[in-house]
Amino acid sequence: MTFVEFVNNFKKNIDYDKVGMILFHNGVVRGTSRDGEKISTINVKVDYEKLNKILKDFSNKNGIFKVDAYAFEGEFNIGDDLLFIGVAGDIRENVFPVLQHLVNKIKKEAIKKEER
């Protein structure tokens, strides 16, 4: 799946009478760890059951009408796509915080990574 495919699929079947904002996240492999150490690859494992539960929980947030994510699993190089997330909602005050919390929760609870 490409980011463009994810965006196009996400935008289907949205009630634009209610939705006034759609935000997307495209997480990629960066060349350093959070500690600043150089990395060359990353190995990612996804708990898809946990991911689906998180998405379901966040779809019930105030003003949110659609959430979805696509998480890649395997070994990746610098610059490769790792995680796509979309959030559609009524107004920015509802959508921005949900996207931020959703990214953090998915990365903390549904994705395990090993940097090399």
Closest by CA position to 7, among listed 78, 100, 112, 87: 87
Confidence at residue 115, expressed as pLDDT on a 0 to 100 scale: 84
Task: Name the burial class of residue 10, with classes exposed (0-12), middle (13-18) and buried (19+) by CB atoms within 10 angstroms of its CB.
Answer: buried
Instruction: Give the model confidence (pLDDT) of 79-95 as tens digits.
Output: 999 999 999 999 999 99
DSSP code of residue 67? E
pTM of the model: 0.94
Separation of alpha carbons 38 and 99, rounded Å: 28
Question: Which domain covers residue 86, as residue numbers?
Answer: 3-115
Tell me the mean pLDDT in the region 47-65.
Answer: 97
Closest by CA position to 68, among listed 53, 82, 55: 55
pLDDT band at 30; cut points 50, 70, 90: very high
Separation of alpha carbons 48 and 23, rounded Å: 22
Phi, psi of 11 (to 5 degrees): -75, -5
CATH number of the domain at 24, please: 3.90.1170.40
Q: Work out how many domains the chain is built from and give that number.
A: 1
